[in-house]
Amino acid sequence: MRKPKPYIHRDISWLSFNYRVLQEAKDSNVPLYERIKFLAIYSSNLGEFFRVRVSNHKNLIRAGKKTLKNVEFEPNQILRQISKVVNKQQEEFSQILHEEIIPELKKEKINIVTNTELNEEQTDFVTNYFNNNLIPYIQPILLSGDKIKPFLQNGALYLGVYMKSKEDNDKEKYYAIVKVPSDVQERFIVLPSKKKSNDIILLDDLVREIIPSIFPGFKIIDSYSIKLTRDAELYIDDEYSGDLLSKIKKGLKKRDIGLASRLVYDRTMPQHFIDALRMVFELSKMDLHPEGRYHNNFDFMQFPDFEMSHLKDISLPPMAYSGLRASLDYYEALEARDHLLYFPYHSFDSVVRFFQEAAVDPAVTHIKLIQYRVAKNSQIMDAIIQAVKNGKQVTAFIEIKARFDEEANLSWGEKLEAHGVNVIYSFPGLKVHSKLAMVRRVINGSEKLYAYFGTGNFNEVTAKIYTDFGLFTTDKKLLKEAEMIFNYLETKKKPNREFEYLGVGSFRLKDKLKALIKKEISNAKKGKEAYMQLKMNSLQDTEMIDLLYEASQAGVKIDMVVRGICCLVPGVKNLSENIHAISIVDKFLEHARVFIFCNDGDEKIYLSSADWMVRNLHYRIETMVPVFDEYLKYIVKSIMKIQLSDNVKARFHNHKNSNKYKTNDSLPVRSQYDIYYFIKRRVENII
């Protein structure tokens, strides 16, 4: 009997990725404030994971076995694995925070003070702060078995209070809930401190200090932080009919009252209190997740820095892209050749300018773009509103199923519509994840088109922290096919011909990728050189993984940079021994997708919005754009070479999810820094 091919479950692999984030917090070579930031990112990532992925597994269980007949895993088993991994990681999280980060802060005379450590002056300050700022937001609720079932807001912080009556003859245990209003108040409050010292108290501990005054008839035994995470999935991805827009609006209203997916609690909480909370909130053991003293640690992003720059990373300010500098005629520069930018090493200003120039240029007649995640204060959105005022025809496709950005995207869509932009919203059953824009100009009766293909969103905020490629082109082959995409989005009529140059999700993108891999397999079997270099966020589609296994067996050399989920197992003898896969977690979030194929010496290089996941390859509109210019190919290959040489921030993917660092005796290569200086060395920074 043939041995089944190995795969790592996507959620277990994702937890391994999030542990790589925690490794950055653990690494003493990382500056202290950056370590705190990584604690915050780890916590935020995990919260979203429970709200979406864990909720999904629990809902499969609630739905019953009939629903599970086509599911390739047993949800109960996966939940047990998730719980085991997360609990172990949370113990390490607490150890890093309390035994490493807080002592290191003390060395810098930054003290996180608990309510039991306040001096007299600080106690007075805390009392006044509570009276002046917190009284309207404190909502104490005394629990009474299953008679009173308070509703805990999704993701909000609470203190569970364990009390006894001050009356001697009353031996009952009493429990209460008090909200910590971190949604309306600063989480970190700077206290009066000694000279050259900085004392900070968390809002949680400030509330702990005043709890006795809230329950004057009781003796406070102790208080413990708790947080309830609720199901955040909208369950609309597979709905193919009806008014999708109204469904999303309705779903958003229900998001914060969804079923509980976990109760996070202080691991020092006594069992009798845990049992009481389980009864009140109707939770199972699987819903319980012990953590440390503090929750919602994403708030550590706002930790006061006291202007201590030596505790932060070296700054890598974005470089102006001189190929489209202000002194040049913008459209003449675009027409001269293709332009490739790599963010955040390059400033995003050149992309913003693409829309700003179009808004005011009298020759521009049309602007079209796809928005997946929109910045809160978007210069691009402001530019296209201005374009409408200047008489341009503007069409914006707004994807309102972009998870956790639905509300913001809806808001922008309504604002754009109010200003006259032709807004097209999501398709039922299909996400539009492509990052594409076009501008049409008419000069002396002649049409000129310009396109931008990106691996990341038109978002000025994420462009400062996500690594992404952006390609400006006037290549007629690519322009024609970009028009086909927009025509489909506007008319919902499928193109009457195949995409020859672009790979487009839902239009045989997967077939194009499979053909490229199969050609490498064929060439390897003929004794020709055959290789692939693949960079993506996630690899989960088993059909693609099987094809990579086949390529490895045929002798194709495969080097991969997979930041997050990697369900493929590299290095297995007689199966994947020719596949080497690393993940890089560092200062910036690796987000670009790059696919390089040897192609018998005539290399094919693609930039893409699509990961190799079932959802991207089957249920989304994605774009994969070829790079034709030889110099730009050289740039992409050079960046990939640097990343594959990383021996500082690279970790190996393997079957154990051990996240072992890639190390060797070569000179240290921290790829994000080396890429920054590589770009800086380019002639006039033109790439």
Active site residues: 433
Specify the DSSP class assigned to residue 163. Answer: E
Strands 446-454 and 435-443: antiparallel
Encode burial over 275-295: b for 16+ CB neighbours within 10 A, e otherwise: ebbeebbebeebbbbbbbbbb
- Listed residue (377, 389, 375, 397) closest to 420, CA to CA: 389
Total residues found in the chain within this entry: 687
Alpha-carbon Rg for the chain in angstroms: 27
Instruction: Report how far residue 69's alpha carbon sits from residue 133's, in angstroms, rounded to the nearest whole number.
Output: 54
Element (H, E) at 490: helix 476-491
| C-alpha dihedral sign at 589, 579, 570, 668 | negative
CA distance 338 to 341: 10
Helix 379-389 and helix 349-360, axial crossing angle in degrees, nearest 10: 10
Q: Are 301 and 203 in contact (CB under 8 A)?
A: no
CA gap 82, 78 in Å, rounded: 6
- Please choose, from the candidates 5, 18, 12, 11, the residue with its C-alpha nearest in 3D space to the C-alpha of residue 583: 18
Kindly provide the b/e burial profile for residues 328-361, where b requires at least 16 CB atoms within 10 angstroms of the residue's own CB.
eebbebbeebbbbbbbbbbbbbbbbbbbbbbbeb
Extract the runs of DSSP E, i.e. beta strands, from 141-232.
Answer: 141-142, 157-165, 173-180, 188-191, 198-202, 218-230
Query: Hey, what are 142's tokens?
Result: 């005394």
The closest of 520, 522, 539 to 531, measured between CA atoms, is: 520
Concatenating the DSSP letter of every residue in 169-187 gives T---EEEEEEEE-TTTS-S
Q: How far is residue 72 from each of residues 4, 85, 304, 612, measured CA to CA in Å? A: 14, 21, 47, 18
CA 544, CA 533: separation in Å to the nearest integer?
Answer: 15
User: Whole-angstrom Cα distance, residue 561 to residue 215?
Assistant: 56
Whether the link from the prior residue into 75 is cis, omega within 30° of 0, is no
